[in-house]
A and B are shown apart, each in its own frame.
Chain A
Amino acid sequence: MTEPLLELIDIEKHFGHVIALAGVSFSIRPGECHCLLGDNGAGKSTFIKTMAGVHKPTAGKIRVCGKETNFQSPRDAMDAGIATVYQDLAMIPLMSITRNFWMGREPVRKFGPLRFLDFPKANAVTMEEMRKMGINLRAPDQAVGTLSGGERQTVAIARAVYFGARVLILDEPTSALGVRQTSNVLATIDKVRKQGVGVIFISHNVRHALAVGDRFTVLNRGKTLGTAVRGEISAEELQDMMAGGQELAELEGSLGGTV
């Protein structure tokens, strides 16, 4: 097996007297989609913020390509090739797709002592990267606000990949989307994975996770309940682990097994 791009070992995170993470281990290899599942309050957000350099772990080790690392800031994590697409997407609806795609990293062309935005390049790259993700833009200067939720998610993912993400953390990318939009985003995840990027897919929807995931880790009350490989675990088992077993079994009975 290939060496993990990113490895977290026995991560603990305490906020005052609250123990948000109590020893979580996780790893991501190139070209795989590792799903991190958990119910609300399980510690998913704290955990991905630790991977993204926002939080410093109270205890535990982080290894990038086998080398032990301490992220001092989100910038450090980004420099190590770890990109996070949060739910707000860091997109500005009033600005064009191109302007959003390049925001903060705009390409410039020198014109004597002056430097101007290189729109031909910016537009061409944006169109091309979006095409790779399966979206043919009508025009790169259309406002992001005119895109659907799934398309916006795809712009955010394409942007992260273009700017050198080797590990892509997606924070509940499908939670606010409809069925079609969701399948589009899942297709995008599949394309990104095939480019050799390690995708960490955070979700609380087991069906979405099973559609693209290679490995599954369930977080419950700040602990991992183990990591399962694709094909070794069923949707029901995952669902049970997420909810902590018993309560859901009772619920499922009353709901007729539809959860």
Chain B
Amino acid sequence: MNEAGNQLPQTQKDERLREISPLKKALIRPELGASAGTIVVFLFFLLVAGDSGMFAPEGVLNWGVVSAQFAIIAVGACLLMIAGEFDLSVGSMIGFSGIVIALVSVTWGYPVWFAILVAFVVAIGIGALNGYLVIKTGLPSFIVTLAFLYILRGLTIFVAISTTQQTIIGGVREAAQGDPIAALFGGKIFRGLFSWLADQGLIDKFVAGPKAGQPVIDGIPMIIVWALVLVVLGHILLTRTRFGNWIFAAGGDNVAASNSGVPVKRVKVLMFMLSAFCATVFATCQVIEFGSAAADRGLLKEFEAIISVVIGGALLTGGYGSVIGAALGALIFGVVQQGLFFAGVESSLFRVFLGVILLLAVILNTYIRRMITGER
């Protein structure tokens, strides 16, 4: 019935598609930069500090724990950044949650599991408040969470001093003895395996001191388990579920997403809550391990989390990134920080290195973004 329509050029297979070279296609994967960076960093330290004990079991455990700490907060920061928002209150939240645990358990005498529960509920509540304020006011999350960086830090110090006259509350280890929930954050797993390995002569035992006869590492700290679990769950959530698609959509273009029926506000508030959850996992592991809480814990952690995420290939503008990449970013971060120590390098140079790697990562990410969207 319509000749004009039939006269239109018939679409053909290839000419409407631009070819992309395989190299560019590989570069477009967000984890690529971080994977390459991880390999470079490991090769570097194998050469520079290979004989320093950095790659002996104790050394691996050392940077493993540090990397795990970064990874835990990086997972929250990563999913939040992909959803298009920042949380600068992570560091203050770590100090705050720690003091809440110590205060409720040691000072007020409640069981540690209850104190941990209270800390999670309060922290996630504050995360929800962060998100609610960002959604309601339409202000950049940068500003809202910057306010909470100061509010929470100030409150933490105030509460600690006004209840105990000091900023460090000790005695958590004693209170946590035999507490099943505390063991989830501060214990170690595979103890039997490691003492068996030591008996087989596969790992060293202490030869002197009070621990003589025990293996030098007696298990995998729970903080590493938490990091692995959070990374795996975060990765599955982001790439394999409907909610993950909503996270990408909310950060990619919130107007387009809500026009397509994505509950953008709910997604963002939930990601703020996840960020607070991750900060509290970090705080709980630290408090149980150290046996104390201090009001100044977690300083600058928000930036370390964001740096890990950016090294991992996420875009600061949202809508693009990977949890695996963020975990690799955290690994690079941890290995370099501890590796420079093993290599005997002046530790202040670590920050120089960090600044440089951050800059390189952002430049690479910007290039990748242009390549994907075809902007100039």
Contacts and interface: CB of A to CB of B under 8 A. Distances in A.
B8 A187 contact: yes
A125 interface: no
Of B245, B262, B369, B373, the most chain A CB neighbours within 10 A belong to B245
Given A146-B374, A184-B16, A190 B2 contact: yes
Contacts of B372: 93-94, 143, 145-146
B277 interface: no
A105 B263 CA distance: 11
Contact of B241 (A117, A136, A137, A180): A117
Contacts of B315: 94
Interface in A84-131: 86, 88-95, 99, 102-106, 108, 115-117
Contact of A143 (B10, B16, B18, B28): B28
Interface stretch (B157-165, B178-186, B249-257): B249-257
A187 B5 contact: yes
Contacts of A116: 236, 240-241
Contact of B244 (A94, A117, A136, A210): A117
Contacts of A138: 17
B11 A94 contact: no
Contacts of A134: 10-11
A40 interface: no
Given A88-B256, A92-B249, A94-B252, A212 B2 contact: yes
Interface string A168-190: 00000000000010011011011
Given A116-B241, A143-B28, A143-B372, A212 B5 contact: yes
A92 B373 CA distance: 9
Interface residues of B, number: 39
Interface string B363-376: 00000010011100
A94 B320 contact: yes
A7 interface: no
Contact of B4 (A94, A95, A210): A210
B9 to A, nearest CB: 5
A12 interface: no
Interface in B1-60: 2, 4-6, 8-11, 13, 16-18, 20, 28
Interface string B226-254: 00000000001000111011101100110
Contacts of B313: none
A122 to B, nearest CB: 10
A193 B4 CA distance: 13
A169 to B, nearest CB: 13
B64 interface: no
B373 A183 contact: no
Contacts of A102: 245
A145 B373 contact: yes
Given A95-B249, A102-B245, A212-B2, A146 B20 contact: yes
Contacts of A145: 372-374
Contacts of B261: 103-105
A189 B16 CA distance: 17
A11 B134 CA distance: 39
B248 A99 contact: yes
Interface in B152-202: none
Contacts of B255: 88, 90
B259 interface: yes
A115 B6 CA distance: 44
Given A88-B255, A92-B248, A92-B256, A187 B11 contact: yes
Nearest to A96: B248
A146 B241 contact: no
Interface in B345-374: 369, 372-374
Given A99-B245, A117-B240, A94 B319 contact: yes
Given A146-B18, A146-B372, A90 B319 contact: no
Contacts of A94: 248, 252, 315, 319-320, 369, 372-373
B137 interface: no
Nearest to B2: A190
14 contacts: A92-B252, A92-B256, A92-B257, A99-B249, A103-B256, A105-B261, A117-B241, A143-B372, A145-B373, A145-B374, A151-B16, A186-B8, A187-B5, A189-B5
Interface of A: 86, 88-95, 99, 102-106, 108, 115-117, 134-138, 142-143, 145-146, 148, 150-151, 180, 183-184, 186-187, 189-190, 193, 210-212, 214
